A and B are shown apart, each in its own frame.
Chain A
Amino acid sequence: MDTFQDTVLKLKHYWADRGTIIQEPYDVEVGAGTMCPETFLRVLGPKPYRVAYVQPSRRPADGRYGENPNRLYKHQQLQVILKPTPDEAIGIDLSKHDIKFEEDNWESPTLGAWGIGWQVMLDGLEITQFTYFQQCGGIDLDLAPAELTYGLERISAFLQGVDSVYDMLWAPGVKYSEVRLADEVQFSVYNFEMANVDRLWRLLGEYEAECKELLAGYEKYPEKHRYPVLAAYDQVLKCSHLFNLLDARGAISVTERVGVIKRVRDLAVGTAKIWAAQQSDQQSEGALA
């Protein structure tokens, strides 16, 4: 039987064998693997790219104090980006199983991104999301990259035949709960009960200001390829995470919600625009390989 780490390693190998770069996780909090710069920024522009990485994804509102068998505050996603999309991106050889493709389009209002796709059902289990990206940061994508997202805990628990993700083996003799339960409990307490709402709002404002300042400075900066657009994007991710935290704290009323989402989206869209500009500037300068 494959442990959690066996499954992760096998998937990484599988994609490495198919010519994707295996990246390591990004080190700023994200709600989904899509938000990492490796996806969000790399899908922009005409340059081909293939990458796969495991990304811990934090969703404060999904925390259940470690009590829900399937729902986690932080879960691991394996994210695969294939740009451009191969002729037939979906290749599955599972002759004894039942595979169905069910419509499931993806949309991220805070990132100004959406795509068309499916959830792939294997014997009734959603094993992966498959999406053709159409827009990111409000920009129509030159190529329509394919994204595959695997919820690793879910797949692994299924393969191990356990009822609760906490019971599955992470490594031989080590349960998932031993590695992660404390995380789930403590962050549920923090996210739902203790995070200081006033301070979170202030932090959101601070990161937003930092991002705006960076976005405003690009135009006049002489050496475009040195300009820290990537740092601006980190501020977007910070804001997005703070938004999720405030949401979990129940601090965002329905009427405020739309407004805050728009604040974050404006930053994401602004960053995407500058990143795309920087890419084409670089191409014309021939500055960076």
Chain B
Amino acid sequence: MSLDFLLEIGTEEIPHWMIPGALAQLAKMDLLGATARVDATPRRLVVRAQGLPERTPDSEQIVKGPPITAGDKAAEGFAKKQGADASALRKAGNYYELVKKVSGRAALDILAESLPGAILGVQWPKTMYWTDRSGPRFIRPIRWLVALLGDQVIPVEIGGVRSGNVTRGHRILGASSIPVTIANYESELRKNFVILAAHERRHKIEKEGAALGAKLDGDLVETLTYITEFPTAIKGDFDPAYLALPAEVLTTVMRHHQKYFSVEDAIGLAPNFVAVMNTSGDPDGLVKNGNERVLKARFNDARFFWNVDQAKKLAERVDDLAKVTFQAKLGSYKEKTDRVVALVKELGGNADAQRAALLCKCDLTTEMVKEFTDLQGVVGGLYAKAQGEPEAVSRAIYEHYEPLSMDDSIPETREGQILALADKLDTLRGCFGVGLIPSGSKDPFALRRAAQGIVKILVEAGLDYKLDSLAQGELHAFLLDRVQHYFREVRGFNYDEVNAVLKVGVTTLKDVEDRLSHVARVRPTPNFEPLAASFKRINNILKQANFTGGAVDKSLLEAGPENDLYEAYTKLPANGPLEDVAELRPLTDRFFDTVMVNAPDPKIRENRLSMLSDMLRKFSSIADFSEIVTSGDQTKS
């Protein structure tokens, strides 16, 4: 007979962001071959499975005994120790051995033994004890345990809590003691206002939120899914007068501080919000009212910060940056500002870009950014605008942390692009200069993100700075690595195309992009890969011959395939379309089919090598075709 299994670890509220990781571990729990199904709410981690055996099967165990040469005494001693008669021993090679029958065990016993370890063995970012110092450690106190195998309770005890068949409902709406069976477990929870499945809670939040006009945001939906057991969305309002504050500030308050969704109408932000409660409804409007009051107080704070901050303009805050540390070894933000201003100038930034560079970090001294750190840059831009700085200056400040991720867009204005570039480049140069170089997963200063941002800006803004004018040495290599990553992962070019293009050198990233597009465009044409294969062959021939270089002597060319190929390739422009180069394929094939490069006459041989080398060089300014993986050498990939 096969049995079903249920484990519910009842806890005090677990931090939402840790739950999925814990479930992934619990899903691997050893359940005698059955597959674990996991679910969770903030107050319970649940593992269910079907088809566990009632007992494990009987088995045989072979125990190796003494060598036969050790004599009967030793054999008897061994048998006795194993609790068997010497007559039960059998010979295996030069040794005695004993076949022991091991009876299977009841699944209930096995699980009773294994569950505490499986539960307490879950790895958490930080654990606690709650009984006393010698007590169990878990993410939060364990308050109840349901452990059932079929209709039997699996006896388990953790920190004084004994397992049973009694669960608890929603903290406020549900009963605090609910006997369950495996079959009715989920429905009993539902009756007691606990929606066990995360996807159901998520769907409820999204559906109700959308119906109320919420501007849904994936991260926030996920957070709310795991801090509620019975999520219900409600809409609240705020005084439209607060819309005079920048939308960025209002949304940050709503989303990050209050976990509300903002609401937008045709014009922009609407004076409403959507909150997700952990309860079934708000018939008297008490929750709505309470949340509205809290939000009002928060908005009041923001308005207060805004007003206080205006008393001292950004321009008057530059010297205050001397008191804000950028990085211990790299000095203050004042020093960083000086460097960035100089760098913007060096990069050819105009007066507006330089002004923006001077002011861009000043918002770090404002009350608003101290309160809403995510809004650094954004607040600076808004203040600059309010304080009458030119549009180009305020925009550049506003945008200069962009792109925040690979999906984020780059600054829109040229001033913003140059400032963003200079700011990131200064951080990278500084950190690399004092040995703060990311290794493995360690990247505390988010230098990869900064480097990625630089690459994205250089390419997408079409800025014509040469990569080696921006960085040298290790930093150059670091950026190059990000260039590869960008073109492969973000732009979707094949890795061999990226390698081929980068192999022949990097000037500007715009040039890299052009060449890559060029290669990718001809890649699917029928002549390209065979030609690439020929180029690879040429490469190998030159390498084997240790060819060091020489000029082509036209008079030594043989009429026919050799001369035809020569005439054809010399007619083509060096950086012309690769489609035309691909057209050389029949001639190249004919050359290799009919002409022997290793001619007996060393002069002819040298001349042929010179010609191949000349042709290779001529068309290798776009990409090194020998890096292209052709169907002939798939194994290399």
A interface residues (Cβ-Cβ under 8 A, vs B): 67-71, 84-85, 87-88, 90, 92-103, 105, 116, 118, 122-125, 132, 134, 140-144, 157-158, 161, 163-164, 250, 253-255
Contact = CB atoms under 8 A, between A and B. Distances in A.
Contact of B227 (A69, A100, A255): A100
B102 interface: no
A132 B141 contact: yes
B62 interface: no
A116 B128 contact: yes
Nearest to B143: A88
Given A97-B287, A103-B16, A124 B297 contact: no
Contact of A255 (B258, B282, B290, B328): B328
Contact of A101 (B12, B141, B295, B328): B12
Given A84-B132, A95-B173, A103-B16, A123 B228 contact: no
B304 A123 contact: no
B277 A98 contact: yes
B290 A124 contact: yes
B143 A87 contact: yes
Contact of A144 (B15, B132, B275, B290): B132
B131 to A, nearest CB: 7
B233 to A, nearest CB: 11
Interface string B472-484: 0000000000000
A23 B64 CA distance: 72
Contact of A70 (B17, B143, B275, B300): B300
B325 interface: yes
B291 interface: yes
Nearest 6 Cβ contacts at the A-B interface = A123-B290, A103-B15, A101-B13, A98-B277, A124-B291, A254-B325
A68 B304 contact: yes
Interface string B249-279: 0000000001010000000000000010111
A101 B227 contact: yes
Contacts of A70: 297, 300-301
B133 interface: yes
Nearest to B304: A68
Given A118-B13, A144-B132, A100 B140 contact: no
B172 A94 contact: yes
Where chain A touches its partner, the secondary structure class is loop
B171 interface: yes
Interface string B189-215: 000000000000000000000000000
7 contacts: A84-B131, A95-B172, A96-B287, A97-B287, A101-B12, A142-B132, A254-B325
Interface string B120-149: 000000101111110000001101000000
Nearest to A46: B132
Contact of B300 (A69, A87, A93, A116): A69
A96 B287 CA distance: 8
Contact of A96 (B131, B284, B304): B284
Interface in B276-296: 277-279, 282-284, 286-287, 289-291, 293-296
B430 to A, nearest CB: 16
A97 B13 contact: no
B323 A69 contact: no
Nearest to A140: B133
Given A124-B260, A254-B325, 8 more contacts: A92-B172, A97-B286, A98-B287, A116-B126, A123-B290, A132-B128, A144-B130, A158-B294
Contacts of A134: 128-129
B258 A124 contact: yes
B381 interface: no
A99 B171 contact: yes
Contacts of B296: 163
B349 interface: no
B290 A122 contact: yes
A250 to B, nearest CB: 7
Contacts of A125: 290, 293-294
Interface of B: 12-13, 15-17, 42, 126, 128-133, 140-141, 143, 171-173, 227-228, 258, 260, 275, 277-279, 282-284, 286-287, 289-291, 293-297, 300-301, 304, 308, 323, 325, 328
A71 B325 CA distance: 25
Nearest to B168: A88
A243 B409 CA distance: 44
Nearest to B308: A67
Contacts of A99: 171-172, 278-279
Contacts of B143: 87-88
B301 A98 contact: no
A94 B304 CA distance: 33
B194 to A, nearest CB: 14
Given A70-B301, A103-B16, A132-B141, A124 B294 contact: yes
Contact of B290 (A88, A97, A103, A164): A97
Contacts of A132: 128, 130, 141
Contacts of A97: 172, 279, 286-287, 290
A254 B297 CA distance: 32
A101 B43 CA distance: 10
B190 to A, nearest CB: 19
Contacts of B323: 250, 253
A103 B323 CA distance: 32
A144 B296 CA distance: 37
Given A97-B287, A123-B286, A255-B328, A161 B278 contact: no
A71 B277 CA distance: 27
A165 to B, nearest CB: 10
A48 to B, nearest CB: 11
Contacts of A90: 12
Nearest to A87: B143
A87 B278 CA distance: 23
Contact of A100 (B17, B126, B228): B228
Contacts of B227: 100-102
Contacts of B279: 97-99
Nearest to B301: A70
Contacts of A88: 143
A264 B282 CA distance: 49
A92 B176 CA distance: 12
B140 A116 contact: yes
B340 to A, nearest CB: 20
Nearest to A257: B325
A98 B130 contact: no
B291 A68 contact: no
A100 B172 contact: no
B225 to A, nearest CB: 13
Nearest to A94: B172
B128 A161 contact: no
Contacts of B16: 103
A163 B13 contact: no
Contacts of B130: 85, 132, 144
Contacts of A163: 296-297, 300
A92 B171 contact: yes
A71 B304 CA distance: 11
